[in-house]
């Protein structure tokens, strides 16, 4: 609850707030555009949008260092944008084009950037959890103090390999922050229908791992919790679990009619808990930004996104020869 208070009386500069606002808005507008392009048939396959969950990646990025690593599942566009990957390259990957981050061979679910320390983009629920611990294993082995953020959802939290990983991560004190993005639905199965555990983060206690539940709709609460987790990991007392209570507004993927929850539930969330609205309010009430300032930011973000979309439509498809490259190093 300390984190909640911080949000009420934010000890944060206007500049930082503006940055969080900008980043969250970028993710949201980007995802809306991706949804649109999907509807136009320009994006194929599976496409999992991050709308509603923006405060999680933005708040944690604010707690992280530039050289920290990240890995997540297939709901990954937001993570990539906030890691600093170019929206044009991300969107061009979504359209399966030559200029995409994976040269069109990965798609929505599989993108990587060595430069930005982003390690995917993984399609098998839960598989990224040991992989993320492995990235942290390498850092501990090499003797640096980098931290790996390993994201997974409430659905993945029931995979056995998560607990195999908890066990070893604590055994070896790996510098990894396990971020459970609990958006309350594993595809169509609510957490109530998949477990009797009152919370997911507490399962770490069985392995001696500290953690906490965080209001994942509040970017400042996320940041505060992230800082605590990062400090523990850098001090050699990793890992740390953060269960982010969040919500996705859209379906599981573009083809999900979301019949498993009511329209009212979603609407209520949007109206009362929206992470972007919350920061906008802080900016205005704290006199950190005028309406005109906010309008200018909106316009700027819109321009970035529409430029990315244009780029992604114009970029050519990969050469046929690309089929055979990158199978072996």
Partner 1 sequence: MATEILMPALSPTMEEGTLAKWLVKEGDSIESGQIIAEIETDKATMEFEAVDEGVVAKLLVAEGTEGVKVNTPIAVLADEGESPEDAASAARAPEADKADAGAEAAPKPQAEGATEAPAPARSESASDQAPVAAVATDWPDDTPTRSLTVREALREAMAEEMRRDDTVCLMGEEVGEYEGAYKISQGLLDEFGARRVVDTPITEMGFTGIAVGAAWGGLRPVVEFMTFNFSMQAMDQIVNSAAKTLYMSGGQVPCPIVFRGPNGAAARVAAQHSQCYAAWYSHVPGLKVVMPYTAADAKGLLKSAIRDQNPVVFLENEILYGRSFDVPEIDDYTVPIGKARLARKGDDVTIVSFGIGMTYAMEAADRLADDGIEAEVIDLRTIRPMDTDAILASVLKTNRLVTVEEGFPQNSVGNHITAVVMERAFDYLDAPVINLCGKDVPMPYAANLEKLALVTTDEVVEAVRKVTYR
Footprint of partner 1 on residues 65-104 (CB under 8 A)?
69, 71, 100-104
Q: Residue 80 in contact with residue 118, Cβ under 8 Å? A: yes
Number of helices and strands (H, E) in the chain? 12, 8
Residue 135 or 279: the one with the smaller Cβ distance to partner 1 is: 135
Residue whose C-alpha is closest to residue 123's, from 113, 112, 114, 133: 112
CA distance 133 to 162: 10
Q: Is 195 in the site for partner 1 (CB under 8 A)?
A: no
Residues contacting residue 133 through CB under 8 Å, at least 6 positions apart: 148, 150, 165, 168, 169, 174, 176, 239
Q: Is 9 in the site for partner 1 (CB under 8 A)?
A: no
Query: Shortest gap between Cβ of 71 and partner 1 (angstroms)?
Result: 8
Q: Is 206 in the site for partner 1 (CB under 8 A)?
A: no
CA distance 119 to 19: 24
Footprint of partner 1 on residues 113-142 (CB under 8 A)?
113-114, 119-124, 127, 129-139, 141-142
Stretch in the footprint of partner 1 (CB under 8 A) among 162-170, 195-203, 216-224, 247-255: 162-170
Query: Shortest gap between Cβ of 171 and partner 1 (angstroms)?
Result: 7
Residue whose C-alpha is closest to residue 231's, from 16, 83, 68: 68
CA distance 316 to 92: 9
Stretch in the footprint of partner 1 (CB under 8 A) among 17-25, 31-39, 161-169, 177-185: 161-169
Q: Is 214 in the site for partner 1 (CB under 8 A)?
A: no
Q: How many residues bind partner 1 (CB under 8 A)?
A: 46
Q: Is 320 in the site for partner 1 (CB under 8 A)?
A: no
Alpha carbons within 13 angstroms on the beta-carbon side of residue 287 total 0
Question: Both tokens of residue 47?
Answer: 């496409």
Residue 137 or 240: the one with the smaller Cβ distance to partner 1 is: 137
Site residues (vs partner 1, CB under 8 A): 69, 71, 100-106, 110-114, 119-124, 127, 129-139, 141-142, 160-161, 164-165, 167-168, 171, 325-329
């Amino acid at each position: 609850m300390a984190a909640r208070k911080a949000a009420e009386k934010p000890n944060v500069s206007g500049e930082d707030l503006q940055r969080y606002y900008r980043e969250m808005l970028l993710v949201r507008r980007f995802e809306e555009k991706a949804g649109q392009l999907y509807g136009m048939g320009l994006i194929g396959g599976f496409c999992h949008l991050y709308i509603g969950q923006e405060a999680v990646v933005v708040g944690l990025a604010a707690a992280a260092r530039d050289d920290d690593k990240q890995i997540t599942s297939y709901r990954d566009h937001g993570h990539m944008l906030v890691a600093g990957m170019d929206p044009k390259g991300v969107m061009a990957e979504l359209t399966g084009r030559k200029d995409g981050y994976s040269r069109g061979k990965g798609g929505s679910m599989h993108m990587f950037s060595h430069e930005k320390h982003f390690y995917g983009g993984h399609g098998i629920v839960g598989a990224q959890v040991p992989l993320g611990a492995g990235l942290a294993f390498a850092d501990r082995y090499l003797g640096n103090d980098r931290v790996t953020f390993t994201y997974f959802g409430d659905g993945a939290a029931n995979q056995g390999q998560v607990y195999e990983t908890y066990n070893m991560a604590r055994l070896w004190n790996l510098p990894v922050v396990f971020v459970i993005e609990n958006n309350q639905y594993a595809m169509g199965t609510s957490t109530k229908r998949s477990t009797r555990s009152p919370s997911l983060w507490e399962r770490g206690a069985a392995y001696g791992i500290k953690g906490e539940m965080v209001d994942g709709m509040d970017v400042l609460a996320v940041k505060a919790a992230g800082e605590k987790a990062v400090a523990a990991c850098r001090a050699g007392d990793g890992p740390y679990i953060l269960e982010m209570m969040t919500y996705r507004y859209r379906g599981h993927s573009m083809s999900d009619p979301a019949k498993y929850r009511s329209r009212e539930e979603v609407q209520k969330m949007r109206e009362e808990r929206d992470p972007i609205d919350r920061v906008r309010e802080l900016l205005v009430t704290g006199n950190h930004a005028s309406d005109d300032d906010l309008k200018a930011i909106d316009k700027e973000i819109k321009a970035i996104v529409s430029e990315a979309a244009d780029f992604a439509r114009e970029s050519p498809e990969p050469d046929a020869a690309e089929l055979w490259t990158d199978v072996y190093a």
